Amino acid sequence: RARVPGAAAEPEVGMAEQRDEAAGGTAVLGEEEQAAAGLRVSIDGELAEITIARPERRNAMTGRTWTTLAHVGQNLPDSVRIVVLKGEGPSFSAGIDLAMFSPEGVPGERSMMGMVGDDPEDRAELDAAIAGYQQGFTWLHRPDIVSIAAVRGHAIGAGFQLALACDLRVLADDAKLCMKEPALGLVPDLAGTKPLVEIVGLPRALEICLTARTVAADEASRLGLAELVVPGAELDAAVADLAAALQAVPRDAAAATKELLQGAAGRTLDEQCAAERSAQIDRLNAMAALMRG
């Protein structure tokens, strides 16, 4: 029986979802589980679309949203190579549901404050819970997929980090990005600090985080935080065009190239050249095998 990882205190994911079932979000996650996590998942062949679907709360997310996202990533059908993340309504996401910090927490979920305590076991429990949440973000960098965040309106805190978890960001011209955590006495802890520093550099990342200011779409574009900025009415079409262009490249070559590019910053030039040779030989072998039939 599949469980949402890291969701020990949360209800189990139902039997409806089985890897490799017919296309459609319920193949990965039952409808009730989607609703409980504030998500809507739709899968159509090579394309998965994940919508944060709590517009009445500006798509505020809970721990369950993130453990469920991790579950979606782990159970994605092999057919999928493009994952689009979007928000329903005027905001991409207003970040963590602030009720997570209240003593009562969100109904059905443990309060973050409820996990805080003085002894090492409390610390370990909180560490494990946050690690489970982070898994909801990190899978979006996987080499076998390309993830695209379609951001309109606010992407605050965890919402900004979710956009940063994606490989590419397409912004509507009303997008507003804000790393609000330091202003709340916290740190960004949902795997967002590394991509932010990699994209904008340390000084700009410091300035954005430590002022907790809002970065509007045009500035985001200049900083490399958006691959594309379009009028709001054109956001879906722009994302669809980008997805189609990505799908036009052979998937194995795309995956190998993404892996190569992702590893570049951590390698010397000589090491990167060796990695290029190795990946190319794999590609040539695969092509030769295809030609042989």
The contact set with ligand CAA (CB under 6 A) reads: 57-58, 60, 91, 94-99, 154, 156-158, 180-181, 184, 186
Q: At what angle do helices 120-138 and 158-165 cross, to 10 degrees?
A: 50
Nearer to ligand CAA, 99 or 255 (CB): 99
Write b or e for each residue in 21-59: b if 16 or more Cβ atoms lie within 10 A of its Cβ, otherwise e: eebebbbbbbeebbebbbbbbbbeebbbbbbbbbeebbb
β-pair partners for 147: 83
Nearer to ligand CAA, 25 or 195 (CB): 195
With contact defined as beta carbons under 8 Å apart, do 212 and 186 qualify?
A: no
In the complex, least distance from residue 128 CB atom to ligand CAA, rounded to whole angstroms: 16
In the complex, least distance from residue 158 CB atom to ligand CAA, rounded to whole angstroms: 4
Nearer to ligand CAA, 58 or 71 (CB): 58
For the beta carbon of residue 282, count every other beta carbon within 10 angstroms: 12
With contact defined as beta carbons under 8 Å apart, do 70 and 139 qualify?
A: yes
Encoded amino acid at 29, one letter: L
Tokens of 116: 């805080």
In the complex, least distance from residue 173 CB atom to ligand CAA, rounded to whole angstroms: 17
Nearer to ligand CAA, 28 or 100 (CB): 100
With contact defined as beta carbons under 8 Å apart, do 27 and 18 qualify?
A: yes
β-pair partners for 83: 48, 147
In the complex, least distance from residue 61 CB atom to ligand CAA, rounded to whole angstroms: 8
Nearer to ligand CAA, 184 or 261 (CB): 184
Nearer to ligand CAA, 184 or 273 (CB): 184
In the complex, least distance from residue 179 CB atom to ligand CAA, rounded to whole angstroms: 8
Closest C-alpha to 192, from 225, 233, 237, 170: 225
In the complex, least distance from residue 7 CB atom to ligand CAA, rounded to whole angstroms: 17
Nearer to ligand CAA, 42 or 214 (CB): 214
In the complex, least distance from residue 39 CB atom to ligand CAA, rounded to whole angstroms: 16
Q: How far is 164 from 225, CA to CA, in rounded Å?
A: 8
Sheet bearing 176-178, strands edge to edge: 154-156, 176-178, 214-216
Nearer to ligand CAA, 58 or 81 (CB): 58
- Name the E strands within 39-141: 39-44, 47-52, 82-87
In the complex, least distance from residue 189 CB atom to ligand CAA, rounded to whole angstroms: 6
